[in-house]
Amino acid sequence: MEKFSHIDDKGKANMVDVGEKPDQIRIARAEGKIKLNPETIQLIRENEIQKGDVLTVAEIAGIQGGKKTSELIPLCHPLQITKMEVRAELTDDGVVVTSLAKCLGKTGIEMEALTAVNIALLTIYDMCKAVDKNMEIGEIKLIEKTK
C-alpha cells in the first residue's frame, strides 16, 4: 500500500487521501484551561456576568466549533461526528474545559476535540473580557486518541 502524502509532486499541500482506509470508531479527548481573577470566578459562579451563563454558553460554543473544524482548518476532512461533548468546570483559579469527540470514519477526530476546547475557552474569554483584563488561556492538549 502506498504511503499517503499531503504534499504533491509540485510541493503543494493537499488533503491526505484516506479513501482506501477502513472506517473505524475513533475517539479523542482534549483539555485546556483559562486562568481568571477570583472576582471573575465569583461572578461566573453567581451567574452575574452581563453576557449570561458563561459555562453553558461556552459548552455549546465548543460543541458548535468542534462540528465546524473542517471549515476552520484548511486540510481537515469533514467528518460524520457521532458524539461531541464539552464540559466547562470552575476551579480555584479559573475554568477547565474538556471535550470528547467521536466518529465512525477513516481519519482521526483529534482536531475536532482540540477545536472544541479552544472555541469554548475563547467564548469564556469573550464573555468575561469586560471584567477581567488578566485572563490567560493555556495548557491545551490532546489527552487521548483511539481507533
pLDDT at residue 135, as a whole number: 98
pLDDT at residue 121, as a whole number: 98
| Residues of the chain under the 50 pLDDT cut | 1-4
Nearest in space to 30 (alpha carbons), one of 147, 106, 121: 121
pLDDT at residue 4, as a whole number: 47
Tell me if residue 126 is catalytic.
Answer: yes
The continuous run of DSSP H or E covering 44 comes out as: helix 38-45
pLDDT at residue 1, as a whole number: 39
Give me the phi and psi of 9, to 5 degrees please: -70, -10
Q: Which CATH superfamily is domain 24-146 in?
A: Molybdopterin cofactor biosynthesis C (MoaC) domain (3.30.70.640)
CA dihedral 101, 107, 111, 114 (to 10 degrees): 30
pLDDT tens digits for 114-124?
999 999 999 99
Nearest in space to 100 (alpha carbons), one of 37, 19, 27, 49: 27
pTM for the full predicted model: 0.89
Q: Where are the alpha helices (DSSP H) in 52-134?
A: 54-67, 69-72, 110-128
pLDDT at residue 21, as a whole number: 84
pLDDT at residue 6, as a whole number: 58
The ranges assigned to domains in the chain are 24-146
Given 9, 17, 53, 126, the catalytic residue: 126
pLDDT at residue 99, as a whole number: 98
